[in-house]
Amino acid sequence: MTEDMALRVVPRPMRKQVEEGLRNAIMNGRFAPGQHLPDRMLCELFGASRSVVREAVRLLEAEGLVTTIPNRGPFVSFLSPAEAEQVYEVRGVLEALAGEGFALRASAAERAELRRIYEALAALPPRGADQAVLLGLKRDFYEVLMRGSRNPLVGRMFETIINRNTQLRATSLSDPGRLPDTVAEIRRVVEAIEARDAAGAWEACRAHVRSAAAVALRILREREQEARAAPSAARP
């Protein structure tokens, strides 16, 4: 391979760009649960054709991020408390497996990288932290955790579940008192990993997910009750 070939940038297909852009917009809260996603708006936003936009929407529908209602079009999916509970159950096991694997197999550089991300998380103000920064640090944490676990299958499965879970993570972190607890829970994960305590890392990861689930499920149930009390504000 020549140097010029090694440096060549391969452009991504437009469909892939729209798919990733729409997925990110949903996961970071730009498009809220229940929000309509009309073709015209998406075409203008991404500068893409209607056929490309519709293909991207179909792919996100397969992931559960979008729901298409007959004669009304696509909407950002709601996640019911029951569905959220299932997502957290699966995430808890996958995250624990990754934590255990990381404690056993990660390199010293990866352990140091995980510690740096934790310290950046711990440095955020306990209240009023920038949500985009916070979610970005959590994404970085899990990217390193999955990579260092040396279990590609867990990583692929986790990537699928985390697309649904990102909306829930934003929900749990919206609780004013959640961030200090998150920092404390992540610290226990990092400390167990640094001690090469695989069982401790497993349990710390499970405890972190259980705590996040409790907060998110409480908020989702409160919202569900509010929606039932106000039919006009209910789902599309």
Picking from 76, 97, 112, the residue at the C-terminal end of a domain is 76
pTM score, two decimals?
Answer: 0.77
Domain-embedded: residue 2? no
- The CATH number that applies at residue 134 is 1.20.120.530
Same domain, 218 and 188: yes
What's the helix, strand, coil split of the chain in %, to 5?
A: 75, 5, 20
Look up the CATH number of the domain holding residue 68. Answer: 1.10.10.10
Q: Is the pLDDT of residue 234 over 60?
A: no
Distance (Å) of CA 181 to CA 50, 88, 89: 44, 17, 20
Mean pLDDT score, 144-173: 85
Question: Can you give the residue range of the structural domain that contains 200?
Answer: 81-227
Are 98 and 125 contained in the same domain?
yes
Which residue type occupies 7?
A: L
7 belongs to a structural domain: no
Asked whether the beta carbons of 140 and 162 are under 8 A apart, the reply is: no
Q: Output the pLDDT for position 29.
A: 73
The rounded distance, in Å, linking the Cα atoms of 56 and 39 is: 11
Of 76, 94, 117, the position where a domain reaches its end is 76
Contact 234, 228 (CB under 8 A): yes
Same domain, 160 and 211: yes
Residue 161 sits in the same domain as residue 203: yes
10 Å Cβ neighbour count for 125?
Answer: 8
Mean pLDDT value across residues 91-107: 98
Do 113 and 170 belong together in one domain? yes
Q: Which residue has the higher pLDDT, 154 or 178?
A: 154
Query: How many structural domains comprise the chain?
Result: 2
Domain closes at, from 76, 94, 122: 76
Return the structure tokens found at 29: 């809260």
- CA nearest to 214, candidates 188, 189, 185: 185
Would you say residue 236 lies in a domain? Answer: no
Residue 8 covered by a domain: no
Residues 59 and 92 in one domain: no
Residue 50 lies in a domain: yes
160-188 pLDDT, tens digit per residue, is: 888 777 667 666 666 777 899 999 999 99
Q: pLDDT at residue 4 above 70?
A: no
Tens of pLDDT, residue by residue over 103-122, are 999 999 999 999 999 999 99
Is residue 218 pLDDT above 50, yes or no? Answer: yes
Closest to 96 measured CA to CA, from 184, 168, 189, 166: 189
Same domain, 95 and 175: yes
